[in-house]
């Protein structure tokens, strides 16, 4: 052991060994992060034994804990039949349709955006299993606050596709319709997690048969708000599920620059909640974990569920990922496509016969077309919209601002030239 | 009952919790300890640990948690131990509390109260003496209330708890125990957004709020001037009518506030007078305020505070202009 | 070189990093990606990963980390991706950055720059369009700078990086790429705290800053009025002299800002005029500002913004009073 | 496993077992927190094995990780000679004197406060080993940002006792003198941890032979600022030591209401840094852990060190702990007094003969008296002090405020009546 006698200035460092194993582990993590080898392999080899260190105190480090990701169906489609959740055939097929829907939705939305019909759009390509598996086990009474990359989970709660289009068009009313289904999209990353804790606290206080889910990304876990929210939930036994879609990127920031920890799931240890990492490209594993998560949460055990997946496209339509990451990495993840894997599963289960992919896609496209039309048909809104709904009762000064702006618009029609977007869906 | 401001707060919370089962009180040290100023004393014993809750040291989650509770239909009253510890939660106010009704077009709302003791003069440590009402008042969607008497404190806090929108309730801790008056037992309201005229006069309008009302009234009394003294009580929404009507009558005005001068709420008041009563002014409006510095530590804080002589000098300047 | 505002920022950072090895640039997506607006493009390649650093998504630690770096003698330039994400770090500004020199009686100091794009008009999502300069300007010890031209941008950013005290540097992202002008190659300074007179006139003083300068100048040009147009450039410390001198000459004033009206910096400007030039006023000062609401989402944001017709109408009202 | 098929509304919960072991563990933790049994016993029994749960996913929870506290000398004074750090006799005796100093300092300060000579004061009674052991291994070039309950650690860095008295008198200059020794006291809990990360980042950038230490309490760990700071340090390999004095109370909030986690040390797992829990009443254990911590940190491994101790008095002189905790609990901790334990150690080592407790105390009292006198003699300060040092160069408006206030004070001597404290030490 090293002894430093500070006040005399003498340092006897002779016996201190550089922490070789920590370095080794770090290197493995970076490898992992750089995805030059499969994350499955690395994740499974996390349990690197620490080299004998000349440290006397019982330090805990990344080596102390091994987080095994939960996987039911392997990338090649193989699985142990005993592990398969006991779902009805309809449910198995339903999961497939939802995943296809998420994929198709993202493709169509990107196209709409390119045509100038949306402000911006954040594609979920690659997250299909993570989104669908995490949303499916939720109940009607549950609440879901997300960040925009969990559309089908919201649709499962009752949100309409039209409203998602309106949302990305910057039509204020969209969040009204989401709220009607107990959903919200929080744009400030991580900042809505305390609300989730509060909602769950309300459920607990009211003894409601419901849980609240936060959907958020790996980036969000670095915010102070997320920390306070989860720790708080742990102390107060709040029925909340913190579902992290760890897609390994926050815009251009890779997971290994987001935290030096090996997983987000292990944060659970620090909060006294339960946590699990699942293969976010394995819809059955996500579904199984979220089902358990919901049970745990309803019993007052808040949980962190980390779905490990990959953002195949840019962060949003404004983003150009070629600036900061390799195509090679992306290729690797194409091979791990969640939908294709699940197709292989359905084949093995003999359910594939019951799937007519083309018809499904047609149906989805029709739904999308209808939603698109409905969004286009969404009535023009009055300019007053920007003043109302801030307060239950509008304060006099704001009334005055609204009135005089109304007069102004009548008196100065030239204002029209400066209004780029018409206030309709 | 006959109550100080701190007792009025306790009484208001008790009255409201009795009346409305949805009301919940939480924050650091509010339950077992009854609050470091004893504002919440006895509540946990009376209403139980489900409704009066000690939280972790997490200002973000206290304020954000209040928003969530409100969304789920509860009536949260969160305490931030000192207003100097509200800035960590500023984002929760700006990004969620103030605008969740707006974001959801009225579908959801955040009827919550954030109570916090503000202001200098209690010989505390750094960050225990701030007045940032100007920053909160600038956030659209937030109501900002600052009482100055026990009667108003209970009436305004009652109103805040009845209010369908979020209220930041700044308590003048310096006078928590220095004034005492009779207050009704019931859940009466002092309306949010209405100023009170504390003294009627002809020669000058003196506008202040919260802990500054006491030295303001003292200065007016000592000078023996014939002043309209307005206690704003609510910073936002601002009672412009009371201000403007008075200035139209007196033609002269003084604003007294404890916060730093530049960017303080005095500017908004002067702008209001400019908007609607400029041509009535016979002298520039005086701002008697804290200086543009952080509140000094306890050994020097008295130099920072607008004490009566400084207020009196300001009133004289305006009268003699 | 001939540069847009965004290029001027990049050039300023490059010039300063070249000159001063202590300068470090960091924030979310600034290194590999060169910033979501490309303000920091090429810096990492040029100055290395030790000096240009991608950080976790941690606004508190970005701003607080900048304070710590500055304490250790570095010259941090932190980027907050959008000014709507600065409120999570508000406490770091109020509690540390603004007052660590004061706390340590000059022993330590926090020469840092927090750069952040502010304002509406780029069709982005919620929280991507805010203007909260009023709240930051109210914090004693913070300097708040808002440039409106490429030349000033580089000169002010240079000055901010040379400044011994913390500067919040609000970048008008709406006009990041819309104006272009010649800027010097060196590390020239545009002094912080000095307004610029963009146009000299006799009849009315029009005061604005940042992204609002463009519609303001447009309105003045369209109206063909003989106006003094002042570009504040610095919100705090405020160049009171330029404002007062001009109003003494013209007797009329209009303030244009994008932030919500109540509690916005317009109040401070009006209070300044009240203090020193009240008796010169021939009409109430007009505030043409954002309304007292959050910035509407993209489909409606144009109704919120002070566009030239609204500014022109305000100028007319003042002239016709 | 439970299967919830949300969209049909059927829940087949037959096989879900209530998480009995989690409950058992929670109960043990509460017991622990309520200190009805010794924390040593509980801490050692953390490793409760989880009962077989009917959960399929590999959940990690408090049972997954056992954090063993590092202890060298047991409360009864017994120890294994092999574990004793290799310090000089002088160093062993030095540690004793520092602990005695901390104790005496706190007693004297409480008295000063009662006499109205200080604003308020936060006593460190009970923390002596934690403070002294954590400060002693630091070097001159190191920085230390604390929260006010680590005085001797600051004195070891060069801070003078006079300045600590000035600090608690609310004399602004005190923090100037602290800063000269690379120390600061942050009053807003947790908020200064990002500064610590930044300072450490500077050290790394400058390749300095130094580390930075944050001293903070258990309460601080619930703040978002602490989370962002430590996670950030982990990512950037910053030479920072986060030393948590877990005295199990944050004013009236006990540790089990601060977090549902069993320890603060285990947060390290979630940040990818190293962590250790030490018996904070065992000065040798704290010293040993901090010595290792400093080595780790200097190599770019930020660490969390948690010293588990107990706040024997009130939170501050304003606080009345009888409102919220039992005397019984306090009694338990009197038996675990860090100084008495160390005395037993010195006796066993044959070093006690070299200690003349009375003479030491006299010396300490003399030092305190001298500091007290120096504080009283601290010159009067000018009113201008409240205006200067905010900016390097005072802006014109502030100059004007200062000038007119100066004039005002000359013109209105009645202002004097309103100035309660004279502007001197
Ligand atoms: C508080 C905050 N800071 C910065 C941003 C800008 N921003 C938007 S999304 C994003 C990255 C989010 O990454 P992650 O949480 O991993 O979610 P993902 O987009 O990968 O699904 C950033 C930095 C923001 N919206 N909010
Ligand atoms: C951000 C913030 N919130 C609240 C307070 C009020 N306060 C001062 S000390 C304290 C408890 C601190 O507990 P802990 O961190 O455990 O330190 P200890 O006093 O036990 O040493 C509180 C709530 C504060 N100073 N800062
Ligand atoms: Mg991500
Ligand atoms: Mg503590």
Q: B169-190, pLDDT tens digit by residue?
A: 999 999 999 999 999 999 999 9
Longest dimension (CA), chain A: 84
pTM over 0.90? The answer is yes
Pocket of ligand 1 contains residue C188 by CB under 6 Å: no
Confidence at D379, pLDDT banded by 50, 70, 90: confident
Q: Whose CA is closest to atom 25 on ligand 2?
A: D188
Confidence at A335, pLDDT banded by 50, 70, 90: confident
How far does the centroid of ligand 2 lie from the alpha carbon of residue B28, in Å?
9
For C124, the token pair is 């982005």
Alpha helix segments (H runs only) across D18-150: 20-34, 39-44, 89-114, 128-135
| C187 in a structural domain | no
Same domain, yes or no, for A117 and A238?
yes
Choose from B267, B304, B318, B321 for mutation: most chain C CBs within 10 A.
B267
Same domain, yes or no, for A392 and A353?
no
Quote the pLDDT of residue D26. 39
Quote the pLDDT of residue B12. 98
CA–CA gap between residue A199 and residue A212 (Å, rounded): 7
Same domain, yes or no, for A262 and A214?
yes
Pocket of ligand 1 contains residue C60 by CB under 6 Å: no
Give the number of domains in chain C.
2
Q: Among the three residues B147, B182, B217, which one is the final residue of a domain in this structure?
A: B182
Quote the pLDDT of residue A380. 85
How far does the centroid of ligand 1 lie from the alpha carbon of residue A249, in Å?
9
Quote the pLDDT of residue B294. 98
Same domain, yes or no, for D215 and D335?
yes
pLDDT of D59 higher than 60: yes
Active site residue C174: no
Note whether C275 contacts B284, CB cutoff 8 Å.
Answer: yes
Same domain, yes or no, for B158 and B212?
no
Closest CA to D83 of D349, D330, D318: D349
Same domain, yes or no, for A367 and A404?
no
Same domain, yes or no, for B234 and B302?
yes
Same domain, yes or no, for D278 and D161?
yes
Chain C residue numbers touching D194 (CB-CB < 8 A)? 60-61, 63-65, 67-68, 92
Same domain, yes or no, for B145 and B12?
yes
How far does the centroid of ligand 3 lie from the alpha carbon of residue D260, in Å?
27
Gap from D155 CA to chain B (nearest CA, Å): 21
Among the listed residues D70, D311, D312, D341, the single catalytic one is D311
Confidence at A262, pLDDT banded by 50, 70, 90: very high
Question: Between B299 and C16, where is the model more confident?
Answer: C16
Quote the pLDDT of residue A334. 87
CATH number of the domain residue B159 falls in:
3.40.50.970
Confidence at A37, pLDDT banded by 50, 70, 90: very low
Nearest residue on chain D to C97, alpha-carbon basis: D195
pLDDT 10s digits, A280-328: 999 999 999 999 999 999 999 999 999 999 999 999 999 999 999 988 8
Q: Does A71 touch chain D (CB under 8 A)?
A: no
| D52 in a structural domain | no
Q: What range defines the domain where residue D359 resides?
A: 81-377
pLDDT of D157 higher than 60: yes
Same domain, yes or no, for B170 and B287?
no
- Block residue for tokens 């939930």: A233
Give the phi and the psi of residue C172 in degrees, each rounded to 5. Answer: -75, 85
User: Does an H or E element contain D3, and which?
Assistant: strand D3-5
Same domain, yes or no, for D180 and D222?
yes
| Secondary structure (3-state) at C197 | strand
Confidence at A2, pLDDT banded by 50, 70, 90: very low
pLDDT of D28 higher than 80: no
Query: What is the pLDDT averaged over residues D372-383?
Result: 92
pLDDT 10s digits, B99-116: 999 999 999 999 999 999
pLDDT of D50 higher than 50: no
Point out the ligand 2 atom lying closest to the alpha carbon of residue B128: 25
| D25 in a structural domain | no
CATH number of the domain residue C247 falls in:
3.40.50.920
| B112 in a structural domain | yes
Q: What range defines the domain where residue B276 resides?
A: 196-320
Quote the pLDDT of residue A41. 45
Partner residue facing D386 (CB), from B34, B296, B298: B296
Confidence at D337, pLDDT banded by 50, 70, 90: very high
pLDDT of A45 higher than 60: no
Closest CA to A354 of A17, A3, A48, A94: A94
pLDDT of D24 higher than 50: no
Choose from B292, B294, B312, B320 for mutation: most chain D CBs within 10 A.
B292
How far does the centroid of ligand 4 lie from the alpha carbon of residue C148, in Å?
49
Query: What is the pLDDT averaged over residues B71-78?
Result: 98
| B189 in a structural domain | no
| Secondary structure (3-state) at A339 | helix
Same domain, yes or no, for C51 and C176?
yes
Same domain, yes or no, for C163 and C311?
no
Tell me what the pLDDT averaged over chain A comes to.
Answer: 88
Exposure string over B265-282, b if 16+ CB within 10 A, otherwise e: bbbbbbbbbbbbbbeebe
Tell me which DSSP letter residue B257 carries.
E
Contact D102, D283 (CB under 8 A): no
Point out the ligand 2 atom lying closest to the alpha carbon of residue D223: 1
| D175 in a structural domain | yes
Partner residue facing D390 (CB), from B29, B59, B293: B293
| B157 in a structural domain | yes
Same domain, yes or no, for B172 and B27?
yes
pLDDT of D332 higher than 70: yes
How far does the centroid of ligand 3 lie from the alpha carbon of residue C241, in Å?
49
Same domain, yes or no, for C7 and C155?
yes
Closest CA to C319 of C289, C285, C271, C268: C285
Q: How many other C-beta atoms can be found within 10 angstroms of the C-beta atom of residue A123?
A: 22
| A58 in a structural domain | no
Note whether D197 contacts C95, CB cutoff 8 Å.
Answer: no
Quote the pLDDT of residue A327. 86
| B187 in a structural domain | no
How many CA atoms lie less than 13 Å away from D398 in the CB half-sphere?
Answer: 25
Pocket of ligand 2 (CB under 6 A): B 28, 57, 59, 81, 85, 88; D 149, 187-189, 191, 216-220, 245, 247, 249-251, 311, 315
Quote the pLDDT of residue A27. 39
Confidence at A421, pLDDT banded by 50, 70, 90: low
- SS3 labels along B153-189: HHHHHHHHHHCCCCEEEEEEHHHCCCCCEECCCCCCC
| B188 in a structural domain | no
| A336 in a structural domain | yes
Positive/negative CA dihedral, A293, A294, A295, A301: positive
Same domain, yes or no, for C307 and C163?
no
Positive/negative CA dihedral, C50, C53, C57, C61: positive
CA–CA gap between residue C32 and residue C29 (Å, rounded): 7
Sheet holding D212-217, edge to edge: D183-185, D143-146, D212-217, D240-246, D303-308, D274-279
Same domain, yes or no, for C308 and C213?
yes
- SS3 labels along C215-284: HHHHHHHHHCCCEEEEECCEEECCCHHHHHHHHHHHCCEEEEEEEECCCCHHHHHHHHHHHHHHHHCCCC
- Block residue for tokens 């003084």: B254
Query: What is the pLDDT averaged over residues D393-399?
Result: 98
Same domain, yes or no, for A128 and A267?
yes
Same domain, yes or no, for C177 and C232?
no
ipTM above 0.90, yes or no: yes
Same domain, yes or no, for D144 and D259?
yes
Chain A residue numbers touching D18 (CB-CB < 8 A)? 299
How confident is chain C (321 residues) per 10-residue block, as mean pLDDT? Answer: 97 98 98 98 98 98 98 98 98 98 98 98 94 98 98 98 98 96 98 98 98 98 98 98 98 98 98 98 98 94 96 97 93
Partner residue facing A191 (CB), from B50, B96, B237: B96
Same domain, yes or no, for A93 and A200?
yes
Q: Does D57 touch chain B (CB under 8 A)?
A: no
How far does the centroid of ligand 3 lie from the alpha carbon of residue A311, in Å?
7
Chain B residue numbers touching C275 (CB-CB < 8 A)? 284, 287
| D224 in a structural domain | yes
Contact A58, D68 (CB under 8 A): yes
Q: Among the three residues B153, B182, B211, which one is the final residue of a domain in this structure?
A: B182
- Block residue for tokens 């950030």: D232
| D70 in a structural domain | no
pLDDT 10s digits, D83-136: 999 999 999 999 999 999 999 999 999 999 999 999 999 999 999 999 999 999
Same domain, yes or no, for D182 and D156?
yes
| D277 in a structural domain | yes
| B191 in a structural domain | no
Residue D322, sorted as left (phi over 0), alpha (psi -120 to 50) or beta, turns out to be: alpha
CATH number of the domain residue A250 falls in:
3.40.50.970
CA–CA gap between residue B26 and residue B80 (Å, rounded): 9
Gap from C135 CA to chain D (nearest CA, Å): 18
Q: Among the three residues B182, B211, B231, which one is the final residue of a domain in this structure?
A: B182
Q: Does A96 touch chain B (CB under 8 A)?
A: no
pLDDT 10s digits, B120-150: 999 899 999 999 999 999 999 999 999 999 9
| B7 in a structural domain | yes
Q: Which of residues 279-338 of D touch B (CB under 8 A)?
A: 318-319, 323-324
Q: Ligand 2: which of D189, D247, D249 to mutate, judged by most atoms within 8 Å of the beta carbon?
A: D189
By annotation, the residues of B acting in catalysis are 128
Angle at C274 between CA C268 and CA C275, to 5 degrees: 90
Give the number of domains in chain A.
2
Note whether D119 contacts B123, CB cutoff 8 Å.
Answer: yes
Same domain, yes or no, for C23 and C76?
yes
Same domain, yes or no, for D396 and D370?
no
Nearest residue on chain A to B89, alpha-carbon basis: A225
């Amino acid at each position: 052991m090293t002894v430093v006698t500070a006040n005399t200035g003498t340092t006897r460092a002779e016996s201190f060994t550089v922490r070789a194993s920590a370095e080794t582990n770090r290197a493995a993590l970076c490898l992992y992060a750089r995805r030059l080898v499969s994350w499955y392999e690395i994740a499974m080899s996390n349990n690197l034994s620490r080299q004998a260190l000349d440290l006397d105190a019982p330090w805990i480090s990344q080596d102390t804990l091994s987080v095994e990701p939960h996987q039911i169906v392997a990338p090649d489609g193989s699985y142990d039949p005993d592990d398969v959740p006991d779902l009805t055939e309809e449910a198995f097929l339903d999961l497939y349709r939802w995943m296809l829907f998420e994929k198709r939705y993202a493709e169509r939305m990107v196209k709409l955006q390119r045509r100038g019909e949306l402000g911006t759009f954040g594609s979920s390509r690659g997250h299909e299993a993570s989104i669908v598996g995490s949303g499916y086990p939720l109940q009607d009474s549950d609440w879901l606050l997300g960040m925009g990359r969990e559309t089908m989970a919201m649709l499962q709660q009752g949100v309409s596709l039209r409203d998602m289009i309106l949302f990305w068009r910057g039509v204020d009313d969209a969040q009204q319709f989401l709220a009607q289904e107990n959903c919200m999209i929080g744009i400030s990353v991580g900042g809505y997690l305390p609300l989730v804790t509060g909602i769950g606290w309300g459920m607990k206080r009211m003894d409601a048969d419901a849980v609240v889910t936060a959907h958020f990304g790996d980036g969000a876990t670095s915010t102070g708000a997320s920390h306070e929210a989860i720790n708080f939930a742990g102390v107060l036994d709040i029925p909340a599920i913190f579902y992290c879609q760890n897609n390994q990127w926050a815009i251009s920031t890779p997971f290994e620059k987001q935290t030096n920890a090996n997983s987000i799931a292990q944060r659970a240890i620090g909060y006294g909640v339960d946590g699990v990492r699942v293969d976010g490209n394995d819809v059955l594993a996500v579904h199984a974990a979220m089902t358990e998560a919901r049970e745990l949460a309803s019993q007052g055990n808040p949980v962190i569920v980390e779905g490990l997946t990959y953002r195949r496209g840019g962060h949003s339509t404004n983003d150009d990922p070629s600036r900061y990451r390799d195509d090679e990495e992306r290729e690797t993840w194409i091979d791990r496509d969640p939908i294709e894997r699940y197709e292989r599963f359905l084949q093995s289960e003999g359910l594939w016969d019951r799937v007519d992919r083309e018809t499904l896609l047609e149906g989805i496209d029709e739904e999308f077309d209808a939603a698109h039309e409905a969004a286009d048909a969404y009535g023009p809104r009055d300019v007053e919209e920007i003043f109302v709904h801030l307060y239950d009762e509008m304060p006099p000064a704001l009334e005055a601002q609204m009135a005089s702006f109304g007069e102004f618009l009548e008196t100065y029609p030239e204002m029209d030239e400066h209004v780029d977007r018409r206030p309709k869906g | 009952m006959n109550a100080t401001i701190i007792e009025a707060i306790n009484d208001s919370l008790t009255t409201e919790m009795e009346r409305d089962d949805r009301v919940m009180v939480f924050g650091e040290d509010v339950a077992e300890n009854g609050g470091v100023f004893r504002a919440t004393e006895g509540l946990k014993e009376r209403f139980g640990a489900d409704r009066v809750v000690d939280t972790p040291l997490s200002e973000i989650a206290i304020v954000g948690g209040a928003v969530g509770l409100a969304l789920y239909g509860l009536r949260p009253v969160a305490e931030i131990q000192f207003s100097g510890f509200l800035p960590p939660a500023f984002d929760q106010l700006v990004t969620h509390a103030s605008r969740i009704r707006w974001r959801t077009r009225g579908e959801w709302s955040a009827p919550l109260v954030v109570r916090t003791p503000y202001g200098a003069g209690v010989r505390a440590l750094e960050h225990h003496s701030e007045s940032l009402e100007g920053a909160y008042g600038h956030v659209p969607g937030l109501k900002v209330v600052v009482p100055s008497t026990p009667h108003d404190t209970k009436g305004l806090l009652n109103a805040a708890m009845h209010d369908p929108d979020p209220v930041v309730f700044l308590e003048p801790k310096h006078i928590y125990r220095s004034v005492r008056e009779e207050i009704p037992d019931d859940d009466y309201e002092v309306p949010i957004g209405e100023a009170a005229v504390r003294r009627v006069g002809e020669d000058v309008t003196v506008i202040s709020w919260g802990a500054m009302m006491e030295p303001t009234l003292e200065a007016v009394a000592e000078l023996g001037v014939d002043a309209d003294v307005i206690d704003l009580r609510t910073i936002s929404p601002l009672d412009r009518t009371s201000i403007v009507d008075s200035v139209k009558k007196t033609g002269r005005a003084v604003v007294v506030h404890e916060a730093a001068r530049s960017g303080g709420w005095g500017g908004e008041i002067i702008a209001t007078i400019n908007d609607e009563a400029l041509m009535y002014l016979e002298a520039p409006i005086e701002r008697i305020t804290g200086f543009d510095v952080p509140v000094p530590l306890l050994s020097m804080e008295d130099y920072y505070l607008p004490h009566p002589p400084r207020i009196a000098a300001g009133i004289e300047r305006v009268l003699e202009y």
